[in-house]
Amino acid sequence: MLSFAAFQHPGRRERLSDFPSKDANPSPAPAGDAVIEVRDAHYSIGGRKIFDGLDITARRGRITAFMGPSGTGKTTLLRLITGQSTADSGSVKAWGQEVSRLSSPELFSLRRRMGMLFQNGALLTDEDVYENVAFPLRAHTKLPESLIRQLVLTKLQAVGLRGAARLMPSELSGGMARRVALARAIVMDPDLLIYDEPFVGLDPISMGVICRLIKQLNDALGITSIVVSHDVQELSTIADDSFLLSGGRVVAKGTPAELHESKLPEVRQFMEGLADGPVPFHYPAPDLVKDLLEDEA
């Protein structure tokens, strides 16, 4: 059983990320109910349009899912939200702050309120599990070693890997690595947790564990979660709000149930996993017969 007793203290709002750190900036004031607001965002890479007027909102305390076929820019959207990339035009706001206008220290200050789980875990390969989870604490706080130990072990206990504290990342399975990365993402008690394709390459048991962890962490910590994935079944069980991205825009939004009932062809194709539809099965190519005959000639 997953245990979250350590997190469940009602009304808790004091977080490690709020504590004054070595180079801290004051945390920005919350902006109403929206934690992340993307308005009319346009973004291109090498002349290829990724977003063409994207509108998205992630609200406080909810699990928001960004879904869509591969190559629709789901991970790129996370890069815009976290300030790793800048939109060509439009607005990307986090807690009411325009991300693209932040200076480097302001951006780092903003990121201290976020935790991110990468597709592959992105654990530091030359550090063991314990040191990986302790890494943000050592970087941003001057907590005594005994307190760091307590925090690290508590977070590892929450993801069920306290016993693996001294293992190296190379000794972990994919699912374990992602749980360690999750422990590291929550160790600073962020306000927003971002999951980039958390279910990719996991067996059904690990997938179920990660799924439950996302839901329980969100509820126990009272945080906001953004999950990027194309795993419809898993997301349907945990997401409060869903956005389906296609062609650089949001083609459908609502609860997972509303998306399931949608009659839009893009939504139907994605939700039912149809091979052909608005997203074509075939990559653009000349006529097959003509192509074959040309080859013979």
Binding residues vs another protein (CB under 8 A): 46, 82, 84, 108-109, 111-112, 114, 116, 118-120, 122-125, 135-136, 139-140, 181, 184, 188
For another protein, the closer of residues 122 and 264 by Cβ is: 122
For residue 296, the minimal CB distance to another protein (Å) is 35
Q: Which is nearer to another protein, 100 or 269 (CB)?
A: 100
Q: Considering only CA atoms, which of 224, 227, 221 is closest in space to residue 256?
A: 227
In whole angstroms, the minimum distance from the beta carbon of 256 to another protein comes to 27
Find the angle CA(215)-CA(62)-CA(279) to the nearest 5 degrees: 90
Supply the minimum distance, in Å, between the C-beta of residue 117 and another protein. 9
Distances 100 to 97, 180, 191, 281 between C-alpha atoms, Å: 9, 30, 20, 36
| Residue closer to another protein (CB basis): 202 or 279 | 202
Which residue, chain included where needed, has tokens 């160790």?
187
Q: Provide the minimum distance between the beta carbon of 189 and another protein in the complex, in angstroms, as a whole number.
A: 13
The helix (H) or strand (E) run that includes residue 43 is: strand 34-45
Q: List Cβ neighbours of 170 (8 Å cut-off, separation of 6 or more).
A: 125
> How far is 247 from 27, CA to CA, in rounded Å?
35
Across the chain, which distance is largest between two alpha carbons, in Å? 77
CA 33 vs CA 56, 57, 97, 194, 224: distances in Å = 13, 10, 14, 17, 11
Instruction: Compare residues 93 and 111 and give the one whose CB is closer to another protein.
Output: 111
Q: Among residues 78 and 279, whose Cβ is nearest to another protein?
A: 78
Residue 246 CB, shortest distance to another protein, in Å, is: 26
Which residue, 174 or 277, has its beta carbon nearer to another protein? 174
Residue given tokens 């997953």 in the structure block: 2
**Min dist. Cβ of residue 82 to another protein (A):** 6
For residue 99, the SS3 value is helix
Residue written as token pair 């063991």: 128
At closest approach, how far in Å is the CB of 115 from another protein? 8
CB of 77 to another protein, least distance (A): 15
The residue (of 58 and 267) whose beta carbon lies closer to another protein is: 58
**Nearer residue to another protein within complex by CB, 168 or 264:** 168
Half-sphere exposure of 118 (CA within 13 A, CB side): 9
Write the burial class of residue 39 (CB in 10 Å: 0-12 exposed, 13-18 middle, 19+ buried). middle
Q: How far apart are CA 243 and CA 214, in angstroms?
A: 18
